[in-house]
């Protein structure tokens, strides 16, 4: 009887620590900071293998998980492709480019049989550079990125991918490597810590921001019969108009990379760069992004890491 009373008292006195908004896992109980006031939260529990939230106004790291782990980044690659294209393309944005056979996406085999996202461009068709860039970026279209890489003039010694890797070094992305410009290769790899530098650089480019902030984009192309056809593509950012106000974002997915995301939230007048790599499901990705933004806005001065 006495032992039963003792156990009951222990459970009752421990009760507040059991309620922390469902955000603690086993690792949470291994190390608890000293001199803290309960109730206390270590942050959202997420399926993502790596994540990072940074207050862009102060530079403060609000939350992190395995930020130095090197992972496949899928279509987050397209941010670097766009950045390098802007740096090296000197032509007219109203110019129409002719699609070639080499621009088609046909050399990648995805194990989960998902078809690579494309604008469905065909050899001989013509499309304006500005439409190729904008539609390709917000739709995450792989064929559009192939064209952008092709039309940038490079020397005999350098390819577009060489320029991408050089830009990564210039930005201080020490653990990043690019294999091709679309993100379909699992060998495009980086870390959340490195991707923060890429996001900051991309945020400075008006054409990238204007593209990623659009919910949809209308464009046209001329087919091989000479007829102009019109199309609309939609942004892959499913939290574009959600309460966390993620106006600027890039998504990515491969079976090997899981569900990835980088973006900027202006939630409650803050500015938070959010990076999530290898979430388990698409739904997990969006819920984890919203949880990280909400939690960081309330707790950023109490930075915790896993």
pLDDT tens-place string over residues 203-231: 999 999 999 999 999 999 999 999 999 99
**High-pLDDT (> 70) share of the chain, %:** 80
**How far are the Cα atoms of 24, 39, 47, 236 from residue 30, in angstroms, in the given order?**
11, 17, 19, 38
- The C-alpha atoms of residue 249 and residue 264 are separated, in whole angstroms, by 6
Identify the pLDDT of residue 35. 52
Query: What mean pLDDT is predicted for residues 10-19?
Result: 38
pTM value is 0.82
Contact 63, 43 (CB under 8 A): yes
The dihedral sign for the CA sequence 242, 248, 254, 260: negative
**High-pLDDT (> 90) share of the chain, %:** 67
Query: What mean pLDDT is predicted for residues 130-139?
Result: 96
- The C-alpha atoms of residue 214 and residue 217 are separated, in whole angstroms, by 7
Q: Which of 113-122, 125-134, 135-144 has the lowest mean pLDDT?
A: 113-122
**Per-residue pLDDT band at 242 (split at 50, 70, 90):** confident
Look at residue 179 and tell me whether its pLDDT is greater than 90.
yes
Identify the pLDDT of residue 269. 77
What domains sit in the chain, N to C, each tagged with a CATH number?
1-42 (no CATH), 50-305 (3.40.710.10)
Contact 64, 52 (CB under 8 A): yes
Query: What mean pLDDT is predicted for residues 239-268?
Result: 90
């Amino acid at each position: 009887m006495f032992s039963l009373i003792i156990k009951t008292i222990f459970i009752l006195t421990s009760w507040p620590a059991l309620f922390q908004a469902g955000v603690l896992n086993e690792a949470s109980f291994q190390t608890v900071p000293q001199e803290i006031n309960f109730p206390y939260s270590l942050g959202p529990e997420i399926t993502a293998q790596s994540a990072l939230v940074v207050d862009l106004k102060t530079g403060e790291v609000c939350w992190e998980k395995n930020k130095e782990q090197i992972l496949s980044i899928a279509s987050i690659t397209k941010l670097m492709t766009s950045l390098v294209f802007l740096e090296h393309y000197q032509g007219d944005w109203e110019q129409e480019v002719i699609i070639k056979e080499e621009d088609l996406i046909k050399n990648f085999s995805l194990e989960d049989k998902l078809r690579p996202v494309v604008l469905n461009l065909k050899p001989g068709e013509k499309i304006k550079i500005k439409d190729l860039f904008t539609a390709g970026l917000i739709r995450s279209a792989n064929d559009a990125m192939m064209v952008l890489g092709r039309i940038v003039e490079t020397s005999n010694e350098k390819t577009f991918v060489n320029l991408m890797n050089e830009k990564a070094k210039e930005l201080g992305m020490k653990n990043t490597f690019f294999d091709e410009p679309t993100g379909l290769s699992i060998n495009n790899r980086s870390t959340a810590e490195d991707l923060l530098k890429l996001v900051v650089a991309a945020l400075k480019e008006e054409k990238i921001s204007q593209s990623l902030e659009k919910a949809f984009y209308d464009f046209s192309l001329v087919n091989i019969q000479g007829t102009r056809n019109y199309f609309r593509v939609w942004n892959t950012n499913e939290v574009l108009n959600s309460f966390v106000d993620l106006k600027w974002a890039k998504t990515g997915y491969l079976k090997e990379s899981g569900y990835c995301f980088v973006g900027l939230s202006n939630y409650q007048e803050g500015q938070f760069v959010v990076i999530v790599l290898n979430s388990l499901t698409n739904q997990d990705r969006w819920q984890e992004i919203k949880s990280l933004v909400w939690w960081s806005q309330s707790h950023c001065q109490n930075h915790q890491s896993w």
